[in-house]
Amino acid sequence: EAQVTQNPRYLITVTGKKLTVTCSQNMNHEYMSWYRQDPGLGLRQIYYSMNVEVTDKGDVPEGYKVSRKEKRNFPLILESPSPNQTSLYFCASRPGQTNTGELFFGEGSRLTVL
């Protein structure tokens, strides 16, 4: 089954404790992206990657890091989480740059930073 898998789905942590949210897709998509969803703000892009070893900032990259060492994986790293990073996070993927296709989303990871 074609899917985007995120882990963990739910996480409560404390300020300053490094964490990683993993994302994996099995559709051989070149493009992957991370979003955060906050009430009244819709989805805002954090980082995206056009292919292996190619990443770029989205609209709200502060406090986040990403890496793309393999095509299928695109982890989101919070080096020192803060309460304003409490949010619902989505990973998404789609075929390459010239494709007119839609994004495929994971189920989401709800993060609470105390």
Work out whether 1 is an interface residue with another protein (CB under 8 A): no
The half-sphere exposure of 76 on its side-chain side, counting CA atoms within 13 A, is 32
CB of residue 21 vs another protein: minimum separation in angstroms?
14
Site string for another protein, 73-112 (x = CB under 8 A): -----------------x-x----x--x-xxxxxxx----
Work out whether 45 is an interface residue with another protein (CB under 8 A): yes
Q: Among residues 31 and 75, whose Cβ is nearest to another protein?
A: 31
Residue 61, preceding bond cis, omega within 30 degrees? Answer: no
Among 26, 41, 80, 83, binds another protein (CB under 8 A): 41
Instruction: Confirm if 109 and 23 have CB atoms less than 8 A apart.
Output: no
Backbone angle region of 19, left / alpha / beta, with phi > 0 → left and psi within -120 to 50 → alpha = beta
Q: Among residues 35 and 82, whose Cβ is nearest to another protein?
A: 35
Sequence-ordered list of residues with C-beta below 8 angstroms from that of 42, at least 6 positions apart, any chain: none
Hey, how many other C-beta atoms are within 10 angstroms of the C-beta on 101?
11
Work out whether 27 is an interface residue with another protein (CB under 8 A): no
Residues that bind another protein (CB under 8 A): 4, 31, 33, 35, 40-45, 48, 50, 58, 90, 92, 97, 100, 102-108
